[in-house]
Structures are given as structure tokens and as C-alpha cells.
Amino acid sequence: MIKDITIGQYVPGESFVHKLDPRAKILISLIYIVDLFIVNNFRGYIFIVAFTLSSIIISKVQFRYIYKGLKPILVLAIITALINILMTSGTNPPLFKWRFIVVYKEGLVLAAFMVLRLVFLIVGTSLLTLTTSPIELTDGIEKLLNPLKKIGVPAHELAMMMTIALRFIPTLMDETDKIMKAQTARGADFESGNLVQRAKSLIPILVPLFISSFRRADELAMAMESRCYRGGEGRTRMKQLKLTNKDFIAAVFILLLVLLSIWSRMWNY
């Protein structure tokens, strides 16, 4: 399960999506997330599915990466669906009723919407990190935050921190997996017992994981200091970000998706 987490991983490639400007990809991802909440019917999700599948195919990212990214949220998706099904009431007669369990059509529809939003939210954000290197992501976030420098926001430092956090997610997952295997080889049991017992069994994992994280942070700080890193002021870049025709083509498609989503929403009225 731990190795299934794909957030922060980067898959090198030369596809159309890989070559997009990181600023364009970040803005497109944000618009895509907003669009998921604009859609309020299954008709609108047809456009979402078409856009998402097209993006995955064009990016040439293997579907196994997308599938691996969705596996960890399976339990969360089930819990979300059950909460919406059981807690939503409707105006029509219930579809199912047994003791205190009452299921309405409105609850099933709302649960389906919530699960779809969660799934596409993970797919969209995963596609951003899978097709954008950490350096490009840092540069893109910093460029987008540059206007906030006028009010004292440290754009470079914020971008650096967010990118380092994303970059080390896969590393920490690998480290956690190694610690769990080592503890299991010593007789530790992480599967049996109730919820409290399982939580207590995680303590032998958390302690060495925190120690390893602090050690890695110290090593990274020393490496940056030895290379005379003093923040973003006055730093230059080997590759300058520049918008191309590919970015404008991608912007047209995401705006078309938003217009179609708004149209599908207005169709109900």
C-alpha cells in the first residue's frame, strides 16, 4: 500500500504534456480542480472523463501509475460514499429501509458525485507531478508567486519548501516500507488486533522514521549550504521559462472544458 503512493514521483518523458510550461500546468491543474466542483450532473462528467483520459494518453504516462495512485484512497472513497448515502435524505420514498438504515436516491447520486470528484482530483494532481520535474515545479510555483513579493511574501522559499516536501514523499514512503519489513522480520505484527493495538504497533515505525527524516533534512541543509545557497535573491537559472504555442493550445482546451461544464450545469435549469 505504501509503495502505491505516487504523489511526488516524476516519470521522465518527451510528450506534449511534459513539454508544457510548468506555470501553465499548475494553472491548468487549478482550473481543473475548480471545474470538478462546477459539474453537478453526470452529463458534465462525460467531458471530465474525456479530458482526463485524453491528457493521460497524450502524456504517455502508463495507466499503472494512475491506478497505483488511486489504490491508497480506496478506503477513503468507500467511507465517503457510505457517509453520503446514509446521511442524505430525500423527498421521494426510500429505495431501501432496514431499521435505522435508510437509503434514498439522492444519497446514492450525491455519493457517486463525491467519489468521482475525489478520484479525478487525485488523478489530476498526480498527472501534474508525474509529468513535471521537481526543479520545473519549483520554478513554476516561484514565478506564479512572484507578484506576492511586493507584500513581503518569500516566493522562492515557499516554492522551495513545497517542492522539497513533494520530492521527499516517495523517499519517506520507501523508508517506511523498509522499516516495516525490518520490524516484521524481528517479529512485529502490524495486521492483527483492534484499532488501538494497531496504532500502538506503529510506534516502532514512527520513531526511526522521524530520526531518518531529521537526518535527511540536516544532510540536505548541509549540502545546500556547501553549494553557497543563500536564498532566491540574485540567483539565475540555466533554463528560462517561456510560454509556447503548446501552452496556449492547452489553455484553449481547459477553457473549452470549463465552458462545457458550465453549459452542462445550466442545462438542468
Cell numbers that stand for 244 in this block? 509556447
> Can you tell me which residue has the cell 516566493?
155
Tens digits of residue pLDDT in 130-144: 888 877 887 888 788
Instruction: Please tell me the predicted confidence (pLDDT) of residue 14.
Output: 86
Cα gap 82→76, rounded to integer Å: 10
Cα gap 242→245, rounded to integer Å: 10
Instruction: Please tell me the predicted confidence (pLDDT) of residue 193.
Output: 66
Torsion angle defined by CA atoms of residues 149, 153, 157 and 162, in that order, rounded to the nearest 10 degrees: -120
Percent of the chain scored above 70 by pLDDT? 88
How far from chain centre, in Å, is Cα 60? 18
Of 114-118, 176-180, 217-221, the poorest mean pLDDT is in 176-180
Q: Give all strands (DSSP E) within the chain, no chain letters.
A: 96-98, 101-103
> Can you tell me which residue has the cell 507584500?
151
Widest CA span of the chain, in angstroms? 70
| 3-class secondary-structure state, position 89 | coil
> Can you tell me which residue has the cell 489504490?
71
Instruction: Please tell me the predicted confidence (pLDDT) of residue 106.
Output: 81
Judge contact between 145 and 120, C-beta under 8 A.
no
Instruction: Please tell me the predicted confidence (pLDDT) of residue 52.
Output: 92
- Residues 220-237 have a mean pLDDT of 75
Tens digits of residue pLDDT in 42-79: 888 889 999 999 999 998 888 888 887 787 788 888 88
CA–CA–CA angle 16, 124, 146 (5° rounding): 80
For residue 187, give the amino acid letter.
G
225 exposure class (CB count in 10 Å sphere: 0-12, 13-18, 19+): exposed
266 exposure class (CB count in 10 Å sphere: 0-12, 13-18, 19+): exposed
Torsion angle defined by CA atoms of residues 126, 45, 119 and 52, in that order, rounded to the nearest 10 degrees: -20
The end-to-end CA distance of the chain, in Å, is 44
b/e sequence 82-99, b meaning 16+ C-beta within 10 Å: eebbeebebeeeeeeeee
